[in-house]
Structures are given as structure tokens and as C-alpha cells.
Amino acid sequence: MNGALNPFASNPAALANHSYGRLVDDRLVTESEGKAPALVSEVHQALRAVLHDPDFPCVGAKSVVNQASYRFGLYQRLADPASTAGLAYDLFEFIQERPQIEGEFTSYIACFLEPKVRTPKRFEQLLWRQLRALHEVDMAHFRWNDAVSADTDDPAFSFSFANNAFFVVGLSPASTRWARQFPWPTLVFNDHDQFERLREQERYDRLRDVIRERDSELHGAANPMLGDHGSHSEARQYSGRQVGSDWRCPVHFDVEEDAKP
């Protein structure tokens, strides 16, 4: 891997639980084991099948899969310390590799074998607990990305890790919308800068409208959580659960305690 040394490698749990895979000649290959283990390949192929479905509404996600411009990891348990250590290691590896990944969109996809999430509210709680846990290990090394806000109520909010901003999309078996359903809890870390580039190129609105049209055809109505950029915090969209105007994020991010300049 090119770039800086991984600062999360000092945690033994990171090396024991990381799972960084890429597609090579239509086969998932991991850095640590070469050909991915059978279970990792099974979950990966199941996810690709969902995104390849002609009716899947997010054309950005379909582009990521079609161009293989994503990296994939499978972890044991969402919001668990060992899985968090492995994910932190792998997310940093993705950030380092991302400039060399060809494709208009890039994402890191993290799937978790456990727990068996039963309700949208429970998934939302675990998603934010996981992001908070990532932030806690990140704080020792990096500040929050200056281009985005750490306040989950702020329309300028985006999640930050290793000083890189991400728009996070959650999928779970408990989602009420098909486009957010997947048998294993999943977090998709989308490079925030790619959306800013689309806005600069005046292409973002068209992409958003296409997704809304496809979502309406699939569900009978567009996802009410897909708001216009800048109208409210994107944090409301992360879990996929439909929430009201009084929604408040279940965690907060203590950026004032960051250790690095």
C-alpha cells in the first residue's frame, strides 16, 4: 500500500480483525489472505447482486460496483471494539489508496456478521455507536476535517475519519425500504469530495433527480429522507430510518479534544 504508515496498526486487534478486499479479475482478494475466505466472498457477492439489480435506485452505487471502484471488508460485530480496530485500519488503507482508484465514485463498504438487527431504531443506534467508536480511536491521530462540521445538527455536517470527510449510508435487514435492505448490517463510506465535485460541475442536481425518480418507481414515492443539499444535516439520512424534524443524533463528536494540529 502506498502512502503514510497506518497509525492504527499499533493496536493488535486491528491486525487481527482487518479485512481489506478489492476485486481482481472478478474475484475478491484480501491483502492478508489472497483469495478471500468463503464467507467473505459470499457476503460480498450477495451485496453485488443487490447493487446489480436493474431496479436498484442509486445510480452512484451501481457505478461504484460496475467500475470496481470500491473496497470491501467483513467484520464480526457492528460497534464492537475489535471490529472497530479492524475497520479503522482498513478505512485508513482505503483513504491512502483512493487517489489511485479509477472511477468517478469511490466507496469503502463494511459489512458485519452480527448482531441480527430487528428494528430500524436499533440499527440507527448501532450505526452511530460505531461512528462514535471510530472517532474515539481517530482522535489520537487526526483532527476533524476542516471543510465539514462535526455538529450533527449542522447542514454542513459530514463524518470525518483520518481528516477525510465521508457521507455514510447504512443498510440493514430491518430497513423498511428495499434499497436500504441487506441481510448483514452494512456501512458504506462515500468520499464526500466526490459530491462536491459534482456540484462544482453542476451535475449533482441531475444525479439526485435520477435517484429520486428511480426510487419513486420502486417504492411508489421518493425516499422522504433524501433532502436537498444544505436544507438539513445529512446525519438524518445515514441510517435510512424515516425521522421527523425533531430528530437528534444519539451521539456527539468531541472535536475540541483532538490531539493533532
pLDDT tens sequence across 90-120: 999 999 999 999 888 899 999 999 999 999 9
* pLDDT, tens only, 143-196: 999 999 999 999 999 999 999 999 999 999 999 888 889 999 999 999 987 666
Q: 247 pLDDT band (50/70/90 cuts)?
A: very high
Of residues 215 and 246, the one with the higher pLDDT is 246
Q: Residues 86, 75: contact at Cβ < 8 Å?
A: yes
Residue carrying the nine cell digits 457492528: 78
Q: Which three cell numbers stand for residue 252?
A: 456527539
- Compute the distance between CA of residue 255 and CA of residue 209 in angstroms, rounded to an integer: 34
- Compute the distance between CA of residue 211 and CA of residue 58 in angstroms, rounded to an integer: 5
Residue type, position 6, single letter: N
Residue type, position 261, single letter: P
Give the pLDDT confidence score for residue 34 in this predicted structure. 73
Range with the poorest average pLDDT among 77-81, 102-106, 225-229, 247-251: 225-229
DSSP class of 178: G
Average pLDDT of 202-214?
Answer: 59
CB-based contacts of 93: which residues, under 8 Å, 6+ apart? 1, 6, 18, 20, 31, 71
Beta strand 159-161 with 164-171: parallel, antiparallel or unpaired? antiparallel
The CA distances from residue 69 to 23, 24, 131, 132, 190, in Å, are 9, 11, 23, 26, 11
Give the pLDDT confidence score for residue 149 in this predicted structure. 96
What three-state secondary structure class fits 147? coil
- Compute the distance between CA of residue 51 and CA of residue 250 in angstroms, rounded to an integer: 29
- DSSP letter for each residue of 106-146: -EEEEEEEE----SHHHHHHHHHHHHHHHHHHHTTT-PPPT
* pLDDT, tens only, 37-65: 899 999 999 999 999 887 776 767 888 88
H helix runs in the chain, sequence order:
12-17, 38-52, 59-66, 81-97, 120-138, 192-200, 204-219
